[in-house]
Amino acid sequence: MRAISDSPIPLSAQQVAEMLAISREVVYRLCESGKLAHHRFGNGRGTIRIFQQDLDQFIASSRVHTSVRDLVEYDHLA
């Protein structure tokens, strides 16, 4: 059985929310803001679908790098 992450089938907002442990509403806001690439299918508002490669790119671009200096300053303040 193939994992959903290996599938070329796009993911729903609910599936992405579950994978990232965030709410579906946050996924919709990320899509609306243009931070998370997505596709809309259907009439009217349609339904949002997100391809794994777009989700992977979003995750990579969301990484926050913290310097050692920042950690030392934070530790000092705590």
Q: Determine which helix (DSSP H) or strand (DSSP E) holds 61, and give its type and residue range.
A: helix 52-61
Question: What is the predicted pLDDT for the residue at 54?
Answer: 96
| pLDDT at residue 7, rounded to an integer | 59
Rounded-to-integer distance, Cα 24 and Cα 15, Å: 9
pTM recorded for the entire structure: 0.72
The pLDDT of residue 1 is: 40
How far is CA 38 from its chain centroid? 10
pLDDT (tens digit per residue) in 23-35: 999 999 999 999 9
Mean pLDDT by 10 residues, the chain (78 residues): 63 97 97 96 92 96 78 62
- The residue among 78, 21, 24, 71 whose CA lies nearest residue 50 is 24
The pLDDT value recorded for residue 76 is 61
d(CA 75, CA 30): 31
